[in-house]
């Protein structure tokens, strides 16, 4: 107890230096834990990009490729699926719902997705959270469009604004369907998923804008007006992929096997959760790099504490000598320096944890709205507590170097007045 009291009094006499050291350690600990919180939040948000969908079906391909174009709108399918196959799958007794997806067009760099109204009912993200509208609602008219939050923000769109769909993918395709413009009927709330960067239209609308399209021409041939197209049978013959929900989770693998062995055309059915984990595993290097950087920050703070204690040792030689002269042994001097390092590290670690939760509480809403990363205010996990204890132990061990130097100071050396 005497050593602890001496350590408190010594730090109190050097309060400014001690405070700066505590702040350095606290900021380092906050950054270390914050990086882990962001990393885990990003991983969780990524894994919950699509939730509540049991299977995704597309043309025969690898699971990651199918996931990329069906969910993330990256790349293209090797081929389409006929609507007859979609109807055959939907007709099974164990299928609860099926939502077709049609890709291939774009608008100013954003992918256009043709789908049914069931998409807004069944698509889930982040622990089965439903899509919500910031303004408007689902498409009602043939040429209505529902846009994601990023599309509305980056292009400055509002309800009723016109949208011209471009044939193909790219910011500038040069093949606009400008004879059949859409209008914004709904704007979705921010989700942090590819939905935010998607323009949604009906499957019939995808067929409608291609009525006047000639694949062998270099431009659209305006032959039919929008009013005449509305009266045409616009049932799609093929789609890119489909999301499937089964009535019982026990039937998931049975349905997956049926689709993978489908003989009419080569199809693949994947489990979205499994495919998402496979895709995330490809960026493990980035995860490791973040952890290494944050650990180096903590190490830098501890080295700064050692430097501070070593720097003040020369100024404290007389203090140590006086302690020795009143009966303090070398072990007491050694324990004093170790205790100071422990107190500084403990205060910095505790303050860093408190600052972390204060910052998370302050920014989690903005981070979720802007980046779609959900930062949970959960208690520290077991491994995080172990990490903080390890930091505390490392701080105490780091104090051994200046403690050993002070231990070796002799009484005569400390009392000598140096010119």
125-143 confidence digits (pLDDT tens): 887 889 999 999 999 888 8
- Which is more confidently placed, 260 or 178? 260
Write the CB contacts of 258 (distance below 8 Å, at least 6 apart in sequence): 89, 92
Work out the average pLDDT over 110-118: 93
Q: What pLDDT shows up at residue 112?
A: 93
Q: What pLDDT shows up at residue 335?
A: 74
Compute, in degrees rounded to 10, the torsion defined by CA atoms 280, 284, 286, 290. Answer: 110
Same domain, 246 and 318: no
Work out the average pLDDT over 376-400: 81
The CA radius of gyration of the chain, in Å to the nearest whole number, is 32
Same domain, 60 and 42: no
Q: Is the pLDDT of residue 241 over 90?
A: yes
Same domain, 27 and 64: no
Domain boundary among 270, 305, 330: 270
How far is residue 299 from each of residues 24, 53, 303, 406, measured CA to CA in Å? 11, 44, 6, 23
Supply the angle between the helices 15-47 and 382-398 in degrees, to the nearest 10. 150
Domain boundary among 237, 270, 303: 270
Residues in the chain: 419
Q: Is the pLDDT of residue 186 over 90?
A: yes
- What's the domain count of the chain? 2
Same domain, 298 and 254: no
Same domain, 302 and 213: no
Q: Is the pLDDT of residue 119 over 90?
A: yes
Q: What pLDDT shows up at residue 410?
A: 45
- Which is more confidently placed, 418 or 194? 194
Domain boundary among 247, 270, 293: 270
Same domain, 140 and 263: yes
* Separation between Cα atoms, residue 256 and residue 97, nearest integer Å: 15
Name the residue among 116, 419, 365, 154 with its Cα closest to residue 239: 116
Q: Is the pLDDT of residue 217 over 50?
A: no
Same domain, 146 and 208: yes
Same domain, 215 and 318: no
Percent of the chain at pLDDT above 70? Answer: 80
Choice among 67-76, 145-154, 182-191, 225-234 with the minimum mean pLDDT: 225-234
* Separation between Cα atoms, residue 110 and residue 113, nearest integer Å: 10
Measured CA angle at 65 (ends 61, 68), to 5 deg: 145
Residue 157 in domain: yes
Q: What pLDDT shows up at residue 212?
A: 63
Q: How confident is the model at residue 218 (pLDDT cuts 50, 70, 90)?
A: very low
Residue 116 in domain: yes
Same domain, 301 and 239: no
Choice among 66-70, 221-225, 284-288 with the minimum mean pLDDT: 221-225
* pLDDT single digits (tens) 304-338: 777 766 666 666 666 666 666 666 666 777 777 77
* pLDDT single digits (tens) 242-289: 999 999 989 999 999 999 999 999 999 999 988 888 888 776 676 677
Residue 275 in domain: no
* Separation between Cα atoms, residue 65 and residue 76, nearest integer Å: 8
Choice among 231-245, 265-279, 387-401 with the minimum mean pLDDT: 387-401
Same domain, 266 and 323: no
Domain interval for residue 160? 55-270
Same domain, 82 and 129: yes
Work out the average pLDDT over 380-408: 77
Residue 278 in domain: no
Q: What pLDDT shows up at residue 36?
A: 79
Q: What pLDDT shows up at residue 315?
A: 60
- Which is more confidently placed, 81 or 318? 81
Same domain, 22 and 151: no
Q: What pLDDT shows up at residue 366?
A: 79
Q: How confident is the model at residue 51 (pLDDT cuts 50, 70, 90)?
A: confident
Write the CB contacts of 67 (distance below 8 Å, at least 6 apart in sequence): 56, 270, 272, 275, 276, 279
């Amino acid at each position: 107890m005497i050593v602890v009291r001496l350590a408190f009094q010594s730090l109190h006499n050097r309060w400014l230096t001690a405070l700066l050291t505590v702040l350095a350690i606290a900021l380092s600990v906050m950054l270390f834990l914050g990086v882990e919180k962001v990393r885990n939040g990003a991983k969780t948000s990524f894994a919950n990009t699509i939730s509540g969908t049991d299977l995704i079906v597309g043309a025969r391909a690898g699971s990651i490729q199918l996931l990329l174009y069906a969910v993330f709108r990256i790349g293209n399918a090797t081929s389409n699926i006929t609507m007859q196959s979609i109807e055959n799958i939907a007709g099974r007794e164990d299928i609860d719902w099926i939502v077709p997806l049609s890709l291939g067009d774009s608008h100013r760099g954003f992918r256009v997705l043709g789908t049914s109204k069931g998409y807004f009912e069944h698509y889930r993200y982040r622990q089965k959270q439903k899509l919500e509208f910031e303004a408007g609602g689902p498409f009602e008219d043939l040429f209505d469009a529902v846009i994601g939050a990023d599309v509305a923000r980056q292009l400055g769109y509002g309800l009723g604004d016109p949208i011209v769909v471009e044939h193909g993918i790219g910011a500038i395709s040069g093949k606009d369907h400008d004879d059949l413009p859409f209008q914004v009927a709904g704007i979705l709330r921010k989700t942090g998923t590819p939905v935010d960067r998607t323009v949604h239209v009906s499957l019939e609308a995808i067929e409608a804008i291609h009525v006047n399209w000639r694949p062998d021409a270099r431009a659209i041939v305006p032959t039919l007006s929008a009013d005449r197209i509305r009266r045409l049978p616009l049932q799609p013959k093929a789609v890119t992929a489909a999301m499937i929900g089964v009535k019982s989770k026990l039937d998931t693998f049975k349905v997956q096997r049926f689709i993978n062995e489908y003989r009419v055309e080569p199809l693949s059915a994947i489990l979205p959760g499994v495919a998402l984990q496979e895709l995330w595993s490809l960026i493990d290097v980035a995860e490791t790099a973040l952890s290494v950087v944050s650990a180096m920050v903590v190490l830098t703070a501890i080295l700064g504490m050692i430097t501070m204690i070593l720097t003040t040792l020369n100024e404290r030689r007389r203090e140590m000598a006086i302690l020795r002269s009143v009966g303090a042994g070398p072990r007491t001097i050694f324990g004093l320096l170790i205790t100071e390092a422990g107190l500084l590290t403990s205060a910095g670690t505790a303050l860093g944890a408190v600052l972390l939760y204060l910052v998370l509480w302050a920014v989690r809403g903005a981070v979720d709205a802007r980046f779609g990363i959900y930062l949970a205010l959960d208690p520290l996990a077991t491994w995080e507590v172990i990490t903080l204890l390890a930091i505390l132990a490392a701080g105490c061990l780091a104090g051994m170097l200046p403690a050993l130097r002070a231990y070796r100071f002799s009484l005569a050396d400390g009392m000598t007045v140096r010119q």
